[in-house]
Structure 1
Amino acid sequence: MIYQTAESINDGRAFLKIDEFIKNNSVYVKIENMNPGGSIKIKTAIALVDAAEKNLDLKNKKHVIESSSGNLGIALSIICAARKYNFTCIVDKNTLPHTIKVMKAYGAEVIIIETPHPERGYLGARLDYIKKRLVSDNSLVWTNQYESSANREAHARLTARELLNEFPVIDYLFIAAGTTGTLMGCVQTVTEATPATKIIAVDTKGSVIFGTPSAPRYIPGMGASVLPPLFDSKNLFDMVQVSEKETVQTCRLFARRYGFLVGGSTGTVLTAIRDYSPKIPAGSVVVMISPDGGERYIDTIYSDEWCLQKGLLQLQSSTSRNTFSGAVVE
């Protein structure tokens, strides 16, 4: 059967070296969009389903329910289809229409939450919906990416080891924060293997993960309106937040300057590296993870109409060498 183990999907050797983005250093990007489903989340999905089969009687109940902003939903749709389970994904209005269509193509049921929780945002509303469904339907199995240790362990065992196999010495490692499974898994393994590595967690402004107030966010894939139970800042060297407007600028700049079409999380982390670069000594090994590609963001991050509607672009009459689609990168 396909997708039986996470080790079978990717040998983890896809890296891109980017020169002349920050002064005195190259940036090495671990590319995860060549995995099935187009993102790093296939590793998480396999681990979550494995754990549910082992601990939650999934093989008998045969119906998975999960909340997702996008990539995990696609990954779980794939795994559930391959293992002959029903899958219900709870998303919200910020989930990309393309993502919803892909999940449905794999046979998933998709429930869209239209109204955010007054204090805990769309994520809080999605989680409340799941909890109500679990009470009314005991055939459902919640994989719970937000609390399951399988989320963290998948990346401790796979993603972190893939990084270290390529770079035995990493000076600075930048990782996006969402459920923080990837982040915490890498922290677990990397800090044990190479204690000198400085791990920088990156989040988007408006997210509560780093203890800042919640605010509206429009780009799915990172950040949270509810503090992730997996998150622990103890072994982090630093934490950086980036505005969604900066993310849009960086994504578009990379497409035009480097021929690298990146997703929102990747653009956010690249922005953080650029802003942090004055603190990074020359000759450092700087590594980051790119969770997915930019193709599924064509109608959002790369759409002037959508970005203007969300207040993420400001058209200017002046131009510079970094001009794209009517907006200017400073």
Structure 2
Amino acid sequence: MDIQQLSRLSSHELCQLIHKIGHTPIQPLDCVVERHAHRIHLKLEGENPTGSMKDRTGYSLIMDIENRGLIQPGQTVIESTSGNLGVALAFLCKAKGYQFVAVIDPKTTQENSTKMQMLGATLEKVQTPDQNGGYLLTRLARVQQYCQQADYVWTNQYQNPANMRIHYMQTGPEIYEQMKGKVDVIFVPVSTGGSLAGIASFFREVSPSTKIIGVDAHGSVIFGTPAGTRKLTGIGSSQPSSFIHKGLYNDYIQVTDEEAFAMCRILQTYTNIIVGGSSGAVIAACMRYLTTVPDSGNIVCICADRGSNYESTIFNDEWIQEHHFHLPSDNFYHFSDTLSPPIITTRYDHRFMSEAQIS
């Protein structure tokens, strides 16, 4: 369902659509790295209702503030977002009858800004970069200004345990079931760290030998590396994560803008799989990992959103040239253009998403 159709649905119809959050397919993909054939598995989170993994996060955050009695009729939800969570919260707030303010920045794509507005959100755009070259800290300062007024409720994706909880209770178990319990390595994009923390916590319990690899943007400070500017959105951060500690991951890999964007365009050209920048980063990190660890077994790459959110940026030749990116286009990894059938969740435990919670 496209965003125009979504925006025309009634609150009741939107509430019914919340049932479709999750259950995303895993797409096997064959490739060759350093003359070794591999099959990797892409967890396609773009199949969520608004097109990203943030539908899961947004749902969990809204349920948390409701369950704790933090929001009342007439109050407004507010959140800092680079794009996808804002779209998810706009969808959920419209379903629930809340007003929503999204604090965004110049890196938010036009596609995501339009989606948020079509779903009834008010956009507040900051323009000043923070001291680390991004906009996160500036966005958070603006949220704090709003929250000095009594009518605003901040979901706080950066510190609210509900962020990681949904991935512990839903995303991790989905992957485990779809892969029949055989997962050797998982590559997870990191921003707030909630998805990595939740997925890793689940696998540490059920499959301690599974390696968790965090994927970060070059210029992000999440893992203590130097700050710098970056064009990637939905991955990386200007501040450390409150959810991640060293025991949750085995290693991390940083990916440049050019590596991520090139991977997105190569996948589109040779496989017709269209994913966003953080997904390109995750797959690029996976390819780099396989050059040094060729016998890696069953690999899952979390692809956080679909590429339709980036038609004006990553998949736009003029934008690429404007920002002086030089992207290789060869199919270095011999991605197969003949795709195996996706792996679908066949059963699901609805304890976390019951009818009573979402109707």
Same fold (TM over 0.5): yes
Match of 1:146 among 149, 158, 183: 158
State yes or no: 1:161 paired with 2:155: no
**Counterpart residue number, 2:271:** 258
Letter in 2 for 1:115: T
| CA distance in structure 1 between the partners assigned to 2:152 and 2:330 by the alignment | 54
Match of 2:259 among 246, 249, 265: 246
Q: CA RMSD in A?
A: 2.0
Match of 1:310 among 293, 304, 323: 323
CA drift of 1:278 comes to 2.6
Residue 4 to residue 246, structure 1, CA distance change in 2 (3 Å)? same
Letter in 2 for 1:176: P
| CA distance in structure 2 between the partners assigned to 1:250 and 1:320 by the alignment | 10
| CA distance in structure 1 between the partners assigned to 2:284 and 2:80 by the alignment | 28
**Counterpart residue number, 1:224:** 237
State yes or no: 1:172 paired with 2:185: yes
Q: Is the contact between residue 25 and residue 285 of structure 1 (CA under 8 Å) also seen in structure 2?
A: no
- Match of 2:72, SS? helix
| CA distance in structure 1 between the partners assigned to 2:120 and 2:21 by the alignment | 24
CA drift of 1:7 comes to 7.9
Within 5 Å, give how 1:1-330 maps onto structure 2. 1=12, 8-10=19-21, 12-22=23-33, 23-119=36-132, 121-135=134-148, 137-167=149-179, 168-282=181-295, 284-313=297-326
| CA distance in structure 2 between the partners assigned to 1:321 and 1:280 by the alignment | 21
CA drift of 1:314 comes to 6.1
| CA distance in structure 2 between the partners assigned to 1:19 and 1:321 by the alignment | 12
Residue 159 to residue 38, structure 1, CA distance change in 2 (3 Å)? same
- Match of 1:306, SS? helix
TM-score normalized by structure 2? 0.84
- Match of 1:47, SS? helix
| CA distance in structure 1 between the partners assigned to 2:92 and 2:196 by the alignment | 23
Residue 63 to residue 27, structure 1, CA distance change in 2 (3 Å)? same
Q: How many residues align?
A: 318
CA drift of 1:94 comes to 0.4
Residue 74 to residue 116, structure 1, CA distance change in 2 (3 Å)? same
Letter in 2 for 1:59: Q
CA drift of 1:115 comes to 0.8
- For structure 1, which runs of at least 5 residues remain unmatched after alignment? 323-330
Q: Is the contact between residue 23 and residue 174 of structure 2 (CA under 8 Å) also seen in structure 1?
A: yes
| CA distance in structure 2 between the partners assigned to 1:121 and 1:245 by the alignment | 17
| CA distance in structure 2 between the partners assigned to 1:6 and 1:183 by the alignment | 26
Which digits, 9 at most, give the CA deviation of each residue in 1:36-81, with x for residues without a partner?
1111111111110111112252134531000000100000000000
Off by >4 Å, runs of 4+ in structure 1: 1-7, 319-322
CA drift of 1:312 comes to 2.2
| CA distance in structure 2 between the partners assigned to 1:195 and 1:283 by the alignment | 15
Q: Is the contact between residue 300 and residue 307 of structure 1 (CA under 8 Å) also seen in structure 2?
A: yes
Which digits, 9 at most, give the CA deviation of each residue in 1:63-110, with x for residues without a partner?
100000010000000000000000000000000011111100011000
Residue 105 to residue 157, structure 1, CA distance change in 2 (3 Å)? same
TM-score normalized by structure 1? 0.91
Select between 59-68 and 148-157 the one with higher mean Cα deviation. 59-68
Letter in 1 for 2:25: A
CA drift of 1:303 comes to 1.5
- Match of 1:217, SS? coil
CA drift of 1:227 comes to 1.4
Identity of matched residues, %: 31
